[in-house]
Amino acid sequence: MKYNRIIKLATAISFMCAVTMSGCAYANITNNVFLAENKNVSEVKSTEKNKTDLKKIKKPENSENKENSENKKENAKKTEKENKSENETIKKEINKIISINKKPLSDEDFMFNGISLGDSVKSLKKVLGKSDSVIEGNIRDKYVWGNFDVTVEKEFPYSYIKRQDLNLKKVISGTGISSFYIFGKNAETYRNISVGTLRESVIRSYGKPSQLLWDGKENSYYFVYQKGNKKIYFNIKDDKVKSITVSLIPPEYYKEDNHKKTDKISVTDNDLTIAGFKLGDKFEPHPWQSWISKNTGVSEEVWYYPGYGVRVTSKSKLINGLFLDNSGMLTSRGIAKGDLQSTLEYIYGEPDKVEVSTEGNNPQTAYIYFSPNKMNLMVVYINKGKISNVVITKNIN
């Protein structure tokens, strides 16, 4: 991975160490959760010229009434047909998405074709047969089977390991298989994820990522899931899995998580970020990403980037709003515009507040999630069971 341009979708810390950086996109929105559309109605005053003798107006013919009635029925049938077609389209999209799997990670999630991390070369060849090629190194070898790579740590001579001046513990974490790398459709994870699987299916299968890294220059993401000293990485490009990596964490980098596990899903300040930007921070554009358009007003500016937007104050350049513009950007937990409502509820849990707009023909629902101190909030708009927008802004109440 090219970590010099990869940031962690949670909280922007420093571009010097991109792996620990965070990011998430903010939205341009008015302070109201819903803004009713005001329509100007012109009032026509009665004058002598426009007065009409109502007695002279003929009543509609029965045939005309019949025609209007038939038109109404025809329009009703047309609307019903359109709604049915739309519902069928939504059902087809849902069928492409894998069902939600709430099971916690297990050792099986880090295996492929019966092969486990730490297994020997002998057991590896027993399952997969002779490799297509072997790339030999000084301390590790790489075995290649088509679109499936396996890295194996070599055994080092005991006399070298004992030498303090070589400090080999930093480069040797043990022997046997240390990682798998899958970049073709010839292998599936324990939860039926393979190259080409939709991004939304990944989070529905594995839940909220332990880490979410964004490579802004390549416009790709790394969904990272960890259990103990094992990690699985899903590289997402164009909303689909491009490659999968399973690896052991070297002892010198592994820290045991002593935090108590809880079933309650709570939103943190790090969740209210987009693309590394956070409310209240001074806006400093990413040097490797160009803005698409910019709206400048007296008191504020709105910067539009691929997939998201940032709203800042004109003078101080402080960030006061973030939003998703399209599915090209994700939230810090991997959610995008167009995802299912059930995916949102699984990843973020129950909202702190729900509001409903009945304006227009398509009523919308807004799921509102507050920051721990209630000063900021994230609003997720839902229309017909799918996410239509995500906005992060200050809480004015």
DSSP code string of 145-175 = ETTEEEEEEPPPPHHHHT-GGG-GGGT---S
State which of 190, 218, 248 marks the end of a domain: 248
Question: In one letter, which amino acid is 144?
Answer: V
> Token pair for residue 87?
């519902």
Give domain status of residue 37, yes or no: no
> Token pair for residue 396?
């004015």
Residue 211 and residue 318 in one domain: no
Give domain status of residue 99, yes or no: no
Residue 279 and residue 242 in one domain: no
- Predicted local confidence at residue 397, as pLDDT: 72
Handedness of CA 65, 67, 72, 76 (dihedral sign): positive
Identify the CATH number of the domain in which residue 352 sits.
3.30.1450.10
DSSP string, 346-389: HHH-S-SEEEEE--SSS-EEEEEEE-TTSSEEEEEEEETTEEEE
- Predicted local confidence at residue 187, as pLDDT: 83
**SS3 of residue 299 by DSSP:** coil
What is the domain count for the chain?
Answer: 2
- Predicted local confidence at residue 213, as pLDDT: 96
> Token pair for residue 57?
């107006």
Residue 313 and residue 390 in one domain: yes
Are 5 and 276 in contact, with CB atoms under 8 Å apart? Answer: no
Identify the CATH number of the domain in which residue 146 sits.
2.60.460
State which of 218, 248, 278 marks the end of a domain: 248
- Predicted local confidence at residue 48, as pLDDT: 39
Residue 277 and residue 192 in one domain: no
Give domain status of residue 308, yes or no: yes
- Predicted local confidence at residue 358, as pLDDT: 81
Distance CA 348, CA 344 (A): 6
DSSP label of 110:
G
- Predicted local confidence at residue 361, as pLDDT: 76
Stretch (H or E) spanning 245: strand 240-248
Residue 120 and residue 236 in one domain: yes
Instruction: Kindly tell me the burial class for residue 71, based on how many C-beta atoms sit within 10 Å of its own C-beta (0-12, 13-18, 19 or more).
Output: exposed
> Token pair for residue 171?
């480069």
State which of 196, 217, 248 marks the end of a domain: 248
Residue 191 C-beta-side C-alpha neighbours within 13 Å = 25
Considering just the CA atoms, what is the radius of gyration of the chain in Å?
Answer: 28
Residue 357 and residue 226 in one domain: no
Residue 132 and residue 236 in one domain: yes
Residue 276 and residue 383 in one domain: yes
Are 57 and 353 in contact, with CB atoms under 8 Å apart? Answer: no
pLDDT by 10s per residue, the chain, length 397: 444 456 666 543 222 223 222 333 323 323 323 222 232 323 323 333 333 333 333 334 455 555 566 666 666 666 566 555 555 554 555 567 889 999 999 999 999 888 899 999 888 889 889 999 999 988 889 999 988 899 998 865 444 444 555 555 544 456 789 999 999 887 889 999 999 999 999 999 999 999 999 999 899 999 999 999 999 999 999 999 999 999 998 876 777 766 555 556 789 999 999 999 999 999 999 999 999 999 999 999 999 999 999 999 999 999 999 999 988 999 999 999 999 999 999 999 999 999 998 877 778 899 999 999 999 999 999 999 999 999 999 998 7
Residue 244 and residue 275 in one domain: no
275 lies in which domain range?
24-31+270-394
* Closest among 203, 189, 234 to 340, alpha carbons compared: 203
Q: How far does Cα 140 stand from its chain's mean position?
A: 35
Give domain status of residue 126, yes or no: yes
Give domain status of residue 297, yes or no: yes
Residue 225 and residue 281 in one domain: no
Residue 225 and residue 187 in one domain: yes
Give domain status of residue 18, yes or no: no
Give domain status of residue 65, yes or no: no
Residue 194 and residue 228 in one domain: yes
Distance CA 158, CA 156 (A): 6
Give domain status of residue 202, yes or no: yes
